[in-house]
Every structure is written in structure tokens, then in C-alpha cells.
Amino acid sequence: MLGRTRKGRPFFSGDQGELTQPARIVGEWGESSPLYISSVLGRFPDNLEDVVVPLFATTESARRELKPEGPVILACDIERFGHDKTVVVRRHGPVGRIVWRVRGHDTMRTVGYLKSYCDTHEVDVLVVYETGVGGGVVDWLRELKPGRARLVAFVGGKKAEKEDYFTNRITEFW
């Protein structure tokens, strides 16, 4: 159990009720140990072994200012009814933002939104996930011609263009 001495120093109460001072814990675990950092210091450690992205990298990336440059890509994953949402993301170079997220809209409403967005914003490429419900959306957008955007029908399970490196189109795009 974590507690504090009269002078405000942290300590642990061991199994037999003895007090374990941080100095002893440092000797056992080391000051750079994730267990010491989280348990004694009460901070999030940077050096965990079982994380994909370390805390310092996440913190540093959140502070970065990215410049929107290059082609503007609008991408949409289509859903209709149920728990999932239709999501539209605008990517301008390294900067990506969700511009529309909705649940329970029919596909024609989604077609109207995508066409209107492409007509009123400078969009170079419109990518629509075609598999399943998205097929009808792609067909209508081909008919309506959204702004100056080039329409790309994306099929994730399709064979990768660089088969030696990637399993399918989804892994190739990532």
C-alpha cells in the first residue's frame, strides 16, 4: 500500500507490514525501472517494453506543427444504418482531419455531402471505400462528377500492386 511519512516521503507497506523506503526500492528496481517510475514517482514511464508507440514519441508528435501542403485527398468509409458511422477524412499532405462523421444516413445523403464538399472545396482526389455499401455511392459519384476531384474506388481486399512487399491494398496504403 502506498503511503507518506511525516516528512511527506512516499513509502510502501510490504506483506509483513514493514515499511519499504524508496531508497530500498531504487536498489531493487533501479531509478529507470517503469515500476519505480509509476509506483513510487507516480508518473507515466517512457520505457515500457510492451507499447507500440512510447509516451515521449506521442507527446512530441502532439506538439508538432504540420504544414498542409501537396494534394488534398478526401476519403470516405461508407456505412448506412446500425452502430458504425460513415466517416469522411480530409488529408492535405501530412495533416488529416475528420470533416464529417454520421450514423444512420442513407447512401444518397452521403453522395450529396461528398459532391457538395468537392464542389465547394479544392479536392484533388476523392477516395471511397467501394466494398459493400460503398459500391452504390461510387456509382452515383461517377454519374454526378464531384467538382474537379478524381474519383478512386478503393477495395481493401484487392491484390496489392507491389505483391512482393504487401499482403493486400490496405497494407499497401498504410
Yes or no: say if 80 and 107 are a contact pair by the CB < 8 Å rule. yes
C-beta separation of 149 from 123 below 8 A? yes
Residue 2: per-residue pLDDT? 56
Residues 6+ apart with CB under 8 A from 139: none
Same domain, 40 and 96: no
| pTM exceeds 0.85, yes or no | no
CA atoms of 147 and 120, how far apart (whole Å)? 8
* Residue 15 pLDDT exceeds 60: no
Dihedral angle sign, alpha carbons of residues 10, 13, 17, 20: negative
pLDDT of residue 9: 61
Average predicted confidence (pLDDT) for the chain: 84
CATH code of residue 103: 3.30.420.60
* Statement: residue 16 has pLDDT above 70: no
Which residue segment(s) compose the domain that 17 sits in? 2-63
Q: What is the structure's pLDDT at 17? A: 47
Backbone phi and psi for residue 152, each to the nearest 5 degrees, phi listed first: -120, 120
Per the structure, how many domains does the chain have?
A: 2
Q: Based on the fold, state whether residues 59 and 76 are members of the same structural domain.
A: no
In this prediction, residues 26-52 reach a mean pLDDT of 78
Both 37 and 92 in one domain: the answer is no
The verdict on 51 and 89 lying in the same domain is: no
Let me know whether 160 and 100 are in one domain. yes
